[in-house]
Amino acid sequence: MLTLSKVLKLQIQNALESAFPEAASAARAAGKRLDPLIVPASKPEFGDFQINGALPLAKPLKQSPRQIATAIVEQLETNADFLNLCKPPVIAGPGFINLILKPSCLVNEISSRLIDKRLGVPSIPPKKKNGEISPVVIDFSSPNIAKEMHVGHLRSTIIGDSLARVFEFRGYEVLRLNHVGDWGTQFGMLITHLKEVAPEALSTPNAIDLGDLVAFYRQAKQRFDEDNSFQLASREEVVKLQSEDPIALKAWKLLCDQSRREFQKIYDRLNIDLTERGESFYNPFLRQVIEDLKVKKLLVLDDGAQCVFLEGMTGKEGKPLPMIVKKSDGGFNYATTDLAAIRYRFDASPKGDNALRLIYVTDAGQANHFAGVFQIAERANWVPNHARLEHVPFGLVQGEDGKKLKTRSGETVRLRDLLDEAIERAESDLRLRLKEEGRLESEDFIEHVSKTVGIAAVKYADLSQHRLTNYQFSFDRMLSLQGNTAPYLLYALVRIAGLARKGGMIDIAPDELQFNEPQEWSLIRELLKFDEVIVEVEEELLPNRLCTYLFELSQSFNRFYDQIPILKTDEPYRKSRLALCRLTADTLKTGMTLLGIPTLERM
């Protein structure tokens, strides 16, 4: 109801200023306006909207909230345009004003949604800087080369993807970046070990696969920790790699390619699109970061290392914390690379990304690191005016014991194993349900539904949690047909698809729509909230808000479905109710697509 709420806000603003012209004039002179504080009603019994401005205005207007509310209502009751939209306002409590939309207004809003593929969500024009379209850059997933993706990568990957989908739906150009760990001292260790134990890999394609490579990494790390001569050889190999030695580069590329293929298998299963741009991409820009920080007089030499001391961030002794950007041995680190990335992404020249908004999706444990990096970028004036630089932190995935999710052997759960188990459990539940219902389905059907439900359940279980909180991973809970789960949402869609097969989703002219049951009006009001929720997710970067909305919409639809007849009722109510079913399906599908969650019409 974004458009409607804007119309109402303007009408109420005018009513407030008409009631208190002197205060309104003084506010305008100060470059402000009196704010009526119109918000969606907190409870259905309060109506559709509430005007809450009377209480905070009491002191500046020197009247009681009730007097202010009465004055506003008196103005609104003389406004014919307002009365076409709302029933007469009701003052409640000390001075709140409750607004209830007229049925004719709700029907008009629903009519417009039925012919709008965007379901009321406004599309913004492309944002431009210096004549070029400015993208929203989202940095997410970011696994490390030579390591398998684990459950810790799940949250970054699906939260980042869902945010990208919302921004794309709104009309932004989105650059989805996978900042993989493809550079650093660990590659000297890996290349040295590779040359010694698998030299054939440098001449024979696909001589090793990622399963071997993970064990291979552990072997190399153990040697690095225990063997001084291996450490020395590894450091020499790093120098060769940084000097672009052909053999070192070939080994590095082989390791990256092996990992990349395995990462892509996971991304394909999750239906995730990414543009890879690893740490190595920013190597040519590291020295310029140092030079620029010198020019801005931010660099300080401390114990041989070049640092920036952070403002407002102190260590145990109360002294400002240093962030090292060039080590005492002349090497660079993660902070240097992250600074180079920010500088490049906001760069408005043809060689940069010209970003409008830069969003990092990582675990909450990196909050201090990004706070420091962001501060340096701000102080170096790399963040343009009106651009936004944001960290989207998230909590841990825990087992049902409340501890960090691990395998029985104590290792981190591999992401591919987690997805496999989700699909296997979904298949087991499906086969049991089919047996209980006496239904016969093909193996292709069972495989398709199991994969869809398994992946949907894993994604939704994560996205439905507030990202800042830790959450307990439970297959039983996430695969349940009851509660705030993906199967519950999918089942609502399946019910609607069944109606479509039996009665068809008949198109109906707006002037034919008629509703007479409270369950219908409740569903209509839920459907009309979709546009506000999408804009809210865009602003606050919280996908769980969309999950909560879709769950509440499914609940409202199920009450509507269970409590009033749809196919076995007279016209025009039959067509009108089928129209609500179709709009519910469209809204659920669109919302779930924005979460990156697949849907079904039969399960």
Report the C-alpha gap between 473 and 475 in whole angstroms.
Answer: 7
CA distances from 74 to 65, 98, 123 (A): 14, 14, 36
Coil, strand or helix at 447: helix
Report the C-alpha gap between 531 and 117 in whole angstroms.
Answer: 12
Per-10-residue mean pLDDT of the chain, 603 residues long, equals 89 93 90 90 88 92 93 94 94 93 95 94 81 89 88 92 98 96 89 88 71 81 93 90 89 89 93 95 94 95 92 86 90 92 93 94 95 97 94 91 75 88 96 94 96 97 94 92 95 94 78 93 97 96 98 98 94 93 97 96 91
**């809210």: which residue's tokens?**
536
CA distances from 73 to 4, 11, 51, 81, 90 (A): 19, 11, 10, 14, 8
pLDDT at 309: 95
pLDDT at 318: 83
pLDDT at 242: 82
pLDDT at 130: 66
pLDDT at 410: 67
Residues 6+ apart with CB under 8 A from 477: 461, 483, 485
Report the C-alpha gap between 14 and 42 in whole angstroms.
Answer: 24
Of the candidates 260, 124, 120, 103, the residue with the CA atom closest to the CA atom of residue 182: 260
Q: Which residues pair with 39 in a beta bridge?
A: 50
DSSP state of 569: S
pLDDT at 409: 67
pLDDT at 209: 67
Of the candidates 423, 428, 422, the residue with the CA atom closest to the CA atom of residue 475: 422
Say how many C-beta atoms besides its own lie within 10 A of residue 199's C-beta.
12
pLDDT at 408: 67
CA dihedral 321, 326, 331, 333 (to 10 degrees): 50
Report the C-alpha gap between 434 and 348 in whole angstroms.
Answer: 58
| pLDDT tens profile 460-511 | 999 999 999 998 889 999 999 999 999 999 999 999 999 998 877 777 777 8
C-beta separation of 381 from 343 below 8 A: no
Report the C-alpha gap between 415 and 143 in whole angstroms.
Answer: 11
Report the C-alpha gap between 426 and 449 in whole angstroms.
Answer: 8
